Amino acid sequence: MPAQTLDGLKIRDEIFSELKQDVARLHAQGIRPGLAAVLVGDNPASHIYVKNKIAACEQIGVAHWLHSPPRNVSTDYMLQLVSDLNKDDNVDGILVQLPLPQQIDSKGVLEAVAPTKDVDGFHPVNLGKLVTNRPGLVACTPAGCMEILRRYQIPIEGTNAVVLGRSDIVGKPMALLLLHANATVTICHSKTRDLPEIVRRANILVAAMGKAGFVQPDWIGPGTAVLDVGTNKVTDPAEAARLLKNFLPRLEKFREKGSALVGDVHPDALHTAGFLSPVPGGVGPMTVTMLMSNTVKAARLRRTPSAAFVGK
């Protein structure tokens, strides 16, 4: 029996509906949440990502501004721009679209964003709050994974959870969120020994390594909930044939387009897992969704400081 699909698009629509109501209530109090996006240069993928984020703002009623410095901009210019946005009371969230050009000190720019406006959840202050389990702005992709688990009523407490990947953006915050939800968490990485055996013991698996089809179907035990964070563009026909041989419509689309998006989990895991987030359409839509959620939370916290965050 195929795994139950963890549909990120469906959950996105549910959360957007809730956020529209939250934003309407804030509007009634004279508060309009606002997001400032900073997009440097002309990276086509970055333009698409920012366009999608602005469209999400419009969908739920969040004000938005786009700053588009040229590709040759300096770190000093970026720091001044971030400083100006920190001081702008209309701006509740600041989004610096990555990657930045090489001449820019990316870490310095991200750390210059006020923690209260850090809707990406990347700032060390917000990461520290997550470590100590205090309310704050959490990195969007891990927060989206937690929403998927919660809304599909997949138990977390007492389970064995395995996180593949240890990045500051996904792997580490994901492990902390699962730990705070009372899972027993194992973080795996490129140096982990006996990886298949560790994965087989998982009740919840989060794959965020950036390797197309890396996790094999026979690594996944019956009933396991698999959240596939990977979005890998496959262009090699032999690799596409290996990964999609049992998904002929997807293979045919690959032959038409010359590329396909594949997760870190082999697509055949659909027949071994209990729950599986598809790529595309699973975790991906949740990243923008939680960016919107963080923006609304940031507005609530900044403008009504006594208000507690709802959720994490």
Residue positions annotated with a catalytic role: 53, 97, 120
Distance of CA 211 to the CA centre of its chain: 17
Tell me the two tokens of residue 140.
Answer: 């969007």
The beta-carbon contacts of 180-183 under 8 Å, at least 24 apart in sequence, are 180/133, 180/312, 181/146, 181/156, 181/157, 182/156, 182/157, 182/158, 183/156, 183/157, 183/158, 183/159
**CA 41 to mean position of chain CA atoms:** 23
Q: Where are the alpha helices (DSSP H) in 216-258?
A: 237-244, 248-257
Distance CA 117, CA 294 (A): 9
Element (H, E) at 21: helix 8-28
Residues 93, 57 contacting (CB under 8 angstroms): no
DSSP string, 119-143: TT--SHHHHHHHHTT-S-PPPHHHH
In eight-state DSSP terms, residue 235 is: -
Amino acid at 26: L
Contact 214, 205 (CB under 8 A): no
Q: What are phi and psi of 139, to 5 degrees?
A: -50, 135
Q: Are 216 and 204 in contact (CB under 8 A)?
A: no
Distance CA 139, CA 141 (A): 6
